[in-house]
Structure 1
Amino acid sequence: MSSANLSGSDFYQLEISTAKRFAEITAVACLISLAWYNSLELVVLCFSTFKRYGGLYFWCLLISSISIIPFALGYLLIIYNVYNHMFSVAMELVAWVGMVTGQSLVLWSRLHLIVQSRALLRATLIMIIVDTIIFHIPGSVLELGSHSNKHELFDHAFNIFERIQLIGFSIQEIILSMIYSREAVRLLNLRPRGHYRSTLVQLLVVNLAMIMMDAAVIGVQYSGLFDIHVALKALVYSLKLKLEYAILGKLVHFTEMNPSSSAPTDLSDFVDFSYHQDHPPVDGESQARGFGMPESPIQHHVQMASKSFVHGLSGSETRSSSDHA
């Protein structure tokens, strides 16, 4: 039907629909551009922050940061109908696994510095693995089917399952963040009252910000704005990874400053133990800390592990100092 044969109300509705679609694709372009910028910045930050390129924490940060680019690109090709093909769908599905599961593994891996219970660490890892299986595999099958020639058989199921999937992953990240916050409060309470109150407030605010961003993504999804929803997901995950560096700095700070903490001693994913082996502590250092009592071997190990973790995160400063020397 041509625009000349449309009634006044129909023509008005057509203009509204066209303007709405233009606003949506413009918003998608803006959100994806910001997500790509953040992703590139995160990759550079990852290599410049860590001196030792290894360990679960480093690789999860790097993979989840890189995955944002193909995830957004796949949906960009689909939304703008540039290359609406199975290749685009497969690309964003693989990147979605790296982005969301990578983020969860980032949250899980940093728990090793403050969580004492190995059973809790094991349980949370099992949770991540189970969620990966029950959410990613059916979701991938349904999304591939919704872009096939028989999409009508999959569309309704995919729309329902995608919402379940997003809520499931959000709950998983909230659980990991709550465990981290609880253990952070426990460690900070070991210090003099009020001494680290500002640090505690900052950590809780950052975790609350992450939860609110997840809520915003879920809200946009339930509003029916699918294109904006997937673009916003890419941006939100890039912002959460940026906040991860702020959390990491606080975590290292109060873990290093708390000699009485007894976090798990297996910190090989975070630190290079050869560093503190080459730099033994000065005699009497342990007696100078705490309340004048000597540290136990476990406490001493955690102290040195924390120091070497800080050393591993200050690669650029260390390299600059050695160059000047």
Structure 2
Amino acid sequence: MSSSDISGSNYGLAARSSTGNIAERTAVACLTAIAWYNALELIVLCFTTFKRYGGCYFWCLLISSISIIPFGLGYLLIIFDVYDSYFSVAMELIAWICMVTGQSLVLWSRLHLVVHSPTVLRWTLAMIIVDAIIFHIPASVLELGSHSNKADLFTPGFNIFERIQLIAFSVQEAILSMIYSWEAVRLLNLRPRGNYRGTLVQLLVVNLAMICMDAAIIGVQYSGLFDVHVTLKAFAYSVKLKLEYAILGKLVDATTQKFGSSGVSAPTDLSDFVDLSHNPNNQPPADSDSQARIWDDPENIALQQTRGSSKLSSDPRVSETATPDSNRSVLRS
């Protein structure tokens, strides 16, 4: 069976037309340029948003953002026949693995913000690892083979497996997004103060937009437009990562806000609240500035004075030997 016998096989690397279509080439160039712009902006945001450069969330977000650039570059070299070789294919394959699985790890890392079940976190991480092994390795072998001298042996398998792995990774990201949305909605509904309806709506819209982008990628891929499909994937993943910043900061504000009536809230450094697996109590640490604001609050000062007086009154050494006047002098000191 030749590659021409397979429906939609014109999107394979080996079966791609050498002349191409001007409209497709223009779309490829535009989508790649936008994806690169978003990637550069994401890299800058990673180093300016986070105060502490560490944790699974930060590194996965950074690696996924950087991978968009070589992913688009590798396919540009192939599509426009600039440097159609194994180097270009290997570059885009490595970037593809880091971009796709990195995006899933970003979604998994932010689950620590709303999910407190170790079982759910372990099973979702196991799903990401197993899917990476099952789908990345065969797809990479088939794509390298479809670009070799024996392309007729690998292209049919690559055309079929490309669709399978794309759907599998889309379902994986949809599962992570649904778990995140469900837990976030349940958590925000338990908040006793504040109106979080706007945050809930934005959260659901963002996750719905991510699912719609995956559906668009699948639709373009099944239409046989391989060149547009791969560049649309780079564009979609760059937008997904930007949407992380759009909603995550607001969710951190909502889930960590305290003293709603006085307007004092906890800090919103994402590095303190996302990927809390390093914290055994799974609680976001507060910095010195937030602690100072909390302890400078008049209500907290009065509460500490009350606790101090009750502690002294319960001490037998004070209650037996000290008079009321001496107790007041002790409290004043």
Aligning the two structures, in what range does the TM-score lie when normalised by the shorter sequence? 0.7 to 0.9
Q: Which amino acid aligns with 1:275?
A: D
1:205 corresponds in structure 2 to: 205
Paired residue total: 269
Cα-to-partner distance string for 1:180-202 (whole Å, 9 max, x where unaligned) = 00001111111249821111111
Once the two structures are superposed, the pairs formed by residues 199-278 of structure 1 within 5 Å of their partners are 199-257=199-257, 266=277, 268=279, 273=285, 275=287
Aligned equivalent of 1:92: 92
2:175 corresponds in structure 1 to 175
* Partner residue in 1 for 2:327: none
Counterpart of 2:136? Answer: 136
- 1:266 is displaced (CA, Å) by 3.9
1:253 CA displacement:
1.3
Q: Does the aligned pair in 2 maintain the 1:113–1:267 contact within 8 Å?
A: no
Does the 8 A contact of 2:55 with 2:275 survive in 1?
A: no
Alignment of 1:1-325 (within 5 A): 21-192=21-192, 195-257=195-257, 266=277, 268=279, 273=285, 275=287, 279=291, 281-282=294-295, 285=300
Provide Cα deviations, 1:280-322, integer angstroms capped at 9, x if missing partner.
752865999xxxxxxxxxxxxxxxxxxxxxxxxxxxxxxxxxx
Gap change, CA 1:265 and 1:231, over 3 Å in 2: closer
Per-residue deviation at 1:250? 2.1
After superposition, the Cα gap between the structure-2 partners of 1:128 and 1:18, relative to the gap in structure 1 and judged at 3 Å, is closer
CA-CA distance at 1:271 after TM superposition? 9.2
Percentage of identical aligned residues: 70
The separation in 2 between residues aligned to 1:117 and 1:38, in whole angstroms, is 34
Give, as a single letter, the amino acid of the residue that structure 2 aligns with 1:98.
Answer: C
8 Å contact kept, 1:114–1:264: no
Gaps of 5+ in 2: 1-16, 260-273, 304-333
C-alpha separation in 2, matches of 1:237 and 1:20: 25
SS of residue paired to 2:115: coil
Q: What letter matches 1:73 in structure 2?
A: L
CA distance in 2, matches of 1:40, 1:47: 11
Measured after TM superposition, the shift of residue 248 of structure 1 is 1.1
**1:193 and 1:228 mapped to 2: Cα distance?**
47
Distance 1:172-1:95 versus aligned 2 partners, 3 A rule: same
CA separation of 1:286 and 1:27: change in aligned 2, threshold 3 A: farther
* Structure 2: distance between partners of 1:44 and 1:258: 30
Label 1:107 to 1:276 Cα distance change in 2 as closer, same or farther (>3 A): farther
Q: CA deviation at 1:116?
A: 1.4
Does the 8 A contact of 1:115 with 1:264 survive in 2? no
CA distance in 2, matches of 1:264, 1:105: 10
C-alpha displacement of 1:22: 1.0
Distance 1:278 1:174 in 2: 36
- Letter in structure 1 aligned against 2:163: R
Give the letter for the 1:120 counterpart: V
Partner of 1:12: none
Give the gaps of 5 or more residues in structure 1: 1-16, 289-325
Work out whether residues 116 and 264 of structure 1, in 8 Å CA contact, stay in contact via their aligned partners in 2.
no
Q: Note the alpha carbon deviations across 1:70-115, whole angstroms, 9 max, x for none.
A: 0000000000011110000000000001101110000000100110
What's the CA shift for 1:277?
Answer: 10
Alignment CA distance shift 1:96-1:18 (3 Å): closer
Post-superposition offset of 1:276: 5.1
What SS class does the counterpart of residue 154 from structure 1 fall into?
helix
Q: What letter is aligned with 2:107? A: L
Partner amino acid for 2:287? Y
Q: What is the TM-score of this pair, normalised by structure 1?
A: 0.76
Larger radius of gyration: 2
Amino acid at match of 2:254: F
Specify whether residues 287 and 78 from structure 1 end up closer, same or farther in structure 2 by C-alpha distance, changes over 3 A only. farther
